[in-house]
Chain A
């Protein structure tokens, strides 16, 4: 059992000093070759992705990028992708499928960007296509929730064979602020929202949304990043080794079943279909 309350974990998960996607890429991979652009209109730098070697083996790595300094945050739009980011992710995933590379994603976003341009260019459609594509891939996909897993913008990189989550990361249907403002018309009740939303790694492990919780150093990931890199590295090695023994069709089927089963036990089939 962790010492932090859900509300404290939300703070830890959002802490700017916490290791982000770029840090994991730099520390866990070699030979990273960044791939940019959606080939339609622009490059969305709030999604960082490319090909790299993981223990010598080429993989496709994709993650949300928040940035640490104010300048970076502005450049990466605080880790809130638009449709171009999700289309870039799709492009990279299709290439991974084509070349038979495993995919590793890092999830860390407050959510997809709620902006005018984003809507104009089909934010909803871009996320929907990500979900559909990921569900059908025949390569191993492992997702790691490293910080903030906010809403559909997080899930868009999260349809994986295995979803891992750092001990103090959070993952939820909406930010606690948004949740409180929708349900209670009062965003200031976000603390209360944190405690009812079951958004911690431990909660999500027990509801079957994530498959493994990765330990963080006492005080949180930012206090000893090297220790966290070692933990995540070991976990990814283990998962990829296990998934490497599964054939292509079974990988897609297993991933489909994982998400097909979400909430299914609450509604047992009763042979209602003809």
Chain B
């Protein structure tokens, strides 16, 4: 069963529907006692970093995730804001502490000087780094859908599992052991995105 963490940050339904279409059993919940039954967790979300963390803490989902993901080594997939929250700290509307599962910080795109629009919205090519079960069966350079103004800067380059270019190279996906994150939205990336979710579903760690 896939447990989708509901912490009041946006479109969870598309993620749930995508996994259901792929044949997974899905639970969408903000209650640790319900999510505990899931073998794999997904932390989706759109919105601001500070709000996201505040919402997680309010219902003690941060502690729950620590126990499940760092303690029991359950796989976790963070999507968009969900990936950014894996970092140690974010700088969206002030400085905020993140979950800290992956060393790094979340910074705003500063691309005005290059004449590039922010947010980075649309489909962009993703280049995979090394072997990653999430991208099995996909061609290097496949396009995924992004919509974000902030991006994660990892302390350790080894945690970056895919990159994308927008003004400069940035982390399109991260991985540390059982912890995965995609800055793009697989649930909004049509066939390519569904493949990523299916890979996550089928993955044996």
A binds B: no
